[in-house]
Structure 1
Amino acid sequence: MLEVKNLAKSYQKDKPALTDISFKVDSGKFVAIIGPSGAGKTTILRSLNQLIKDDDGQILLDGEDIRAANKAELRKLRRQIGMIFQNYNLVERLTVIENVLHGRLGYKSTISGMIGRYTEEEKREALELLDKVGLSEFALQRCSELSGGQKQRVGIARALIQHPKVILCDEPIASLDPASAQNVMKLLKDLTVEFNIICIANLHQIGLAKEHADQIIGIRKGQMVYNDVSENLSEDAIADLYGTAAVKELVE
């Protein structure tokens, strides 16, 4: 379980980016965080793996407070938190399987990581994960030759090879065409269930959030104004988040 209690963050004095954010997510659940640009969605994700230092609150992963971890403890905890990026964050000149194996770097010494020393077991697992995301035939192809949807699936496999308890996705379908976006969302949902992990994704596509997410969290001006199962997200709640004029466009 991931439990966030009273999370707060300010980048400037008297201008809070997050105020009193609290929610729980069980393993095997896919959560979408929605809200206008600048609402604080990315700040929440970056707080969850402590890429930024927030100001107050608790972030408990199976009862262990991530915010209280020292540098050595945080390095180990980050192995349990995979990250999927809008811009893929791949090394384009390297092959697909090499990029997937980068998900094991948190388990390696600096020297082993620099020279790309991976075990045969890790290589087999990378191939198995590529098969799960539908890319086994592209294992030896350079990532620069892939489509956007394929690159995002490489990112998903790279996150999974960490053996994470949580995967965080920062607008994972923002750069994809509608068909690829649908495929990636379905894949994330299916793998969340199969691996019994927690997946949290920042999204602007409300229709896809309602279709695939188990739970939706709505953020406006750094405050949580909605937290419920996806099927309960009403037009009134969407209007409260984005404004009445935006409702029709956003839900399509």
Structure 2
Amino acid sequence: MLEVKHLAKSYQKDKPALTDINFKIDPGNFVAIIGPSGAGKTTILRSLNQLIKDDAGEILLDGEDIRSANKSELRKLRRQIGMIFQNYNLVERLTVLENVLHGRLGYKSTLAGVMGRYTEDEKREALDLLDKVGLSEFALQRCSELSGGQKQRVGIARALIQHPKVILCDEPIASLDLASSQVVMKMLKDLIQELNIICIANLHQIDLAKEHADQIIGIRHGKMVFNDVADKLDQAAITELYGTAVEEKEPA
């Protein structure tokens, strides 16, 4: 379980970016964080893996407080938190297989990582994951030759090979067309349920959040104004969250 208690963060004095954020997420659940631009969605994700130091609160992963970890402990904890990025964050000149194997770097010494020393078991697992995301035939192809949707599926496989308890996705479909977005969202949902992983995704697409997420967290001006199952996000809640009516698209 991931539990966040009273999380707070300010970048400037008297201008809070996050105020008293509280939520719980069980394994196997897909959670979407939505809200206007600048609401604090990315700050939440960056706090969860401590890429930034927040000001107060607790972040408990299976009862262990991530915020109190020292550098050595935090390095080990980050192995349990996979990341999927809006811009894919792949090494374009390397093959699909090599990029997936980069998800094992947190388990390697610096020398082994630089030399690209991976075990046969790790290579087999990477190939198995590429099969799960429908890219086994592209394993030896350079990432620069892939479409955006394919690159994001490589990112999913790379995150999964970490054996994470949590996957954080920062606008994972912002650069994709609707068809590719649907494929990526459904794949994420299916895989995290199969592997019993928590997934938290920042999204701008309300319709896709409602279609695929189990739980939706709404953030406005750094405060949580909605936290419930997706079906409860009605038009009144959307208007409160965004301060205006937002048109929803019908699922494709």
TM-score by length of 2: 0.98
Which secondary structure state, in structure 2, belongs to the residue aligned with residue 159 of structure 1?
A: helix
Correspondence for 1:152: 152
**Aligned counterpart, 1:33:** 33
Q: Contact between 1:7 and 1:57, CA under 8 Å: does it hold in 2?
A: yes
Question: 2:130 matched to which residue of 1?
Answer: 130
Q: Do structure 1's residue 3 and structure 2's residue 11 form an aligned pair?
A: no
Q: Which amino acid aligns with 2:19?
A: T
Aligned residues: 251
**CA RMSD in angstroms, aligned pairs only:** 0.9
Identify the residue that residue 93 of structure 1 maps to in structure 2: 93
CA deviation vs aligned residue, 1:113-144 (integer Å, no higher than 9, x gap): 00100000000000000000000000000000
3-state SS, counterpart of residue 6 of structure 1 = strand
- Secondary structure of 1:87's partner? coil
Whether contact under 8 Å (1:88, 1:152) holds in the other structure is yes
Using the TM superposition, give the Cα deviation of residue 248 of structure 1 relative to its aligned residue in structure 2, in angstroms: 1.6
Q: What residue is the counterpart of 1:107 in the other structure? A: 107
Counterpart in the other structure of 2:188: 188
- Tell me the residue number matched to 1:24: 24
Q: Residue 24 of structure 1: SS of its match in structure 2?
A: strand
Give 1:231's aligned residue.
231
Distance in 2 between the 1:26 and 1:219 partners? 20
CA offsets, 1:63-101, max 9 Å, x none?
000000000000000000000000000000000000000
- Residue equivalent to 1:163: 163
Runs (4+) of structure 1 moved beyond 2 Å? Answer: 249-252
Distance 1:57 1:110 in 2: 33
Shift of 1:36: 0.2
Once the two structures are TM-superposed, the CA of residue 250 in structure 1 deviates from its matched residue by 6.7
Partner Cα distance (2:188, 2:35) in 1 = 20
Partner of 2:55: 55
**Counterpart amino acid of 2:240?**
D
Aligned 8 A contact 2:217 2:224 in 1 = yes
Give 1:244 deviation, angstroms.
2.6
* Structural mapping, 1:53-92, within 5 Å: 53-92=53-92
Q: 1:135 to 1:128 in 2, by over 3 A?
A: same
Unpaired runs of at least 5, structure 2 = none
Aligned mates of 1:148, 1:100 — CA distance in 2: 16
Check whether the contact 2:9–2:16 (CA below 8 A) recurs between aligned residues.
yes
Cα deviation, residue 35, structure 1: 0.1
SS at match of 1:144: helix
CA distance in 2, matches of 1:54, 1:189: 29
Query: Structure 2: which amino acid aligns with 1:71?
Result: K
1:67 and 1:192 map into 2 onto residues whose CA distance is 25
Q: Secondary structure of the equivalent of 2:127?
A: helix
Residue type matched to 1:248 in 2? E
Q: Describe the SS at the equivalent of 2:199.
A: strand
Tell me the TM-score normalized by structure 1. 0.98
CA distance in 2, matches of 1:105, 1:195: 21
